[in-house]
Amino acid sequence: MPGEFERYLFHEGTLYKSYRMLGAHITAHQKQRGVRFAVWAPNALQVNVVGDFNNWKGENDPLERMDASGVWFGFIPDLKEGDLYKYEIHTPSGDLIQKADPYAFASETRPNTASIIHQLGGYEWQDVKWETNRKKRDHYHEPMVIYEMHAGSWKKKENGKFYTYRELADELISYVASIGYTHIQFMPLMEHPFDRSWGYQITGFYSVTSRYGSPEDFKYLVDQCHKAGLGVIMDWVPLHFCKDDPGLRQFDGTPLYEPRELDMAERPNWGTCNFDFNKPEVVSFLISNAMFWLEEYHIDGFRVDAVSSMIYLNHDNTLAVPVTNAYGGPENLEAIAFIKKLNEVIFSQYPHILMIAEEATDYPLVTSPTSAGGLGFNYKWNMGWANDVLRYMQMEETERSHHHHLLTFSFMYAFSENFVLPFSHDELVYGKRSLVNKMSGDYWQKFANLRVLCGYLMTHPGKKLLFMGSEFAQFDEWKDLEQLDWNLLDYDSHTEFHHYFKHLIHFYRSNRSLWRLDHKQEGFEWIDPHNSSGRVISFIRKGKRRGDYCIVVCNFSSTVYSNYRIGVPAAGVFQESFNSDAKEFGGSGQQNTGRLLVEKMPYHNQPYSMEVTVPPLGMVVFTKKPIQRKQKYRKG
């Protein structure tokens, strides 16, 4: 029976593993095996359990209301793992409704909607080494390149069916690891009824979707990712839930998980209901949900969806009359308090987890600690940078010189937060076109533009994220009902770009100056941000150690600049370390060969300078050649 203290914490909003108290748990009572059920339905007149074991008739399996807290409890003998069930709820208005268990650990495959009795634990994890090393790592000062993907459309079988979690483990992991990614980020894998919601409208927050297999199958996928050195990030949606009848909406016949006020509960743009962050039980439900995925599935972090819509009452919410808080402001004060509490709880138990905010406004201190007045995330998507730079890349060359600020403005705020630079699915769907098809110019120029764009991405401060298919220049925008266009790898331009992208990531990962001080101003220095007419920018990325730096030049024009002078910080000899215009990548082959000598000629506010060749629509990186010291030999 759920204990009194547990119930107290749940109603206080501080029971952070409430899934251990509520839901369906296989256990023994008076030496008899069965299942213990517990559900929160404070306004229900009666709650019964129905399922395939009682022909979906609940009169013989009622639950007992424990007290005024609204938790209903009961034990049914002889039930076993795999049995189907729902809660039959007698509402205050006299209706009889059936609801899936909010805490169900497994669910039927759509279009069926029953919950499935499932025993937690039981999987023998093999990732102890990964878990141990994760505690020692400092991701702020490490390379991070995230592969965002939709499990249902990465690849499909010839008959159109989905790959299972285990089949994904067999093919996906080796592919992603070979390119050089550090993490895989899955679009939401919680149970959802409609494929085309992509998982963002959820019915089963504690159920990994059965579309691709069982909970153990998904654990195997995560386990294999960890064995291959890949972290796993989950898209998580604590803002809202779908209105489907078996789900959370009007759960006990009244607004329970959603606010009572209609304008606060409804999110018309998405046809969903908002969570009520003012209810402590909802706070317990959501924070416990995050803890559940970390504990039961060994997830390495979350990309928290729609944080802007949590912070602001009217963001992406076209109500007839704007909603305000108690003080007349636009902020959702209860949601902000929830976000801070969430991050405090998560980091108190999992200090090395990634909590990444999809936040699109200029709300301050998103990645600052709550003790300093921040929201407490450790990363934020830099959606402003993505929007600016993609807008620039779609312009014809003649226009670009008039919009040079779109390339450089991000450095005005690049170190105000810990940023992830995202080219996500949001930019590649609904007529927005794929990355390569956004690029201006003819066919060759599109690929060259994409090469320089990705080069700029990898050398710009911040962690990186790209949506699946971008690594081989998928030409069509994302088609969520079809697999990626893998046949494009039969064509030279796409094969060469795939080759380029792999080399680019490995170059990024092997050069500490490109990530060691990602979130510190001292890790970046402009050489020349002002050459708008030439459409060229140049800058220095610095590591922590003295002399650990590289010089980056990006040319967003199709002009080859020979004898192009740039300022450099020190005397010596430089060499070209990476060039996106190499012929092996599909480029024109305008490269810098041999030694590049530095002259004692101040330029670009630097004490020295050198002349280089800047390739058309190209990114080139220069590093200082180490001094070859002669060894001295002693006689005898």
Q: Contact 514/550 with Cβ under 8 angstroms? A: yes
The phi and psi torsions of 597 (rounded to 5 degrees) equal -85, 135
Contact 469, 485 (CB under 8 A): yes
- How buried is residue 496: exposed, middle or buried, by Cβ count under 10 Å (0-12/13-18/19+)? buried
What is the DSSP secondary structure assignment for residue 552, as one 8-state letter? E
Cα first-last separation, the chain: 85
CB 272 within 8 A of CB 309: no
Instruction: Name residue 567's beta-bridge partners.
Output: 609
Region of 115 on the Ramachandran plot (φ > 0 left; ψ -120 to 50 alpha; else beta): beta
How far is residue 613 CA from its own chain's centroid? Answer: 38
Write out the catalytic residue numbers.
Answer: 305, 358
How far, in Å, CA of 569 to CA of 608, rounded?
Answer: 6
- Please report where in the chains the tokens 């990309």 appear, as a residue: 303
- Between CA 182 and CA 48 the distance in angstroms is 47
- Residue pair 261/332 in contact by the 8 Å Cβ criterion: no
Q: What are the structure tokens assigned to 561, written together?
A: 């600049």
Note whether 577 and 623 are within 8 A (CB): yes
Q: Is the previous residue joined to 626 through a cis bond, with omega within 30 degrees of 0?
A: no
Q: Give the angle 247-377-207 at the CA atoms, nearest 5°.
A: 25
- Amino acid, res. 190: M
Contact 492, 447 (CB under 8 A): no
What are the structure tokens assigned to 563, written together? 């004898």
Q: Tell me, what DSSP letter sits at residue 161?
A: P
DSSP code per residue over 300-363: -EEEETTHHHHHBTTTT---SS----TTS-SB-HHHHHHHHHHHHHHHHH-TT-EEEE---S--
Q: Are 182 and 233 in contact (CB under 8 A)?
A: no
Say how many residues make up the chain.
636
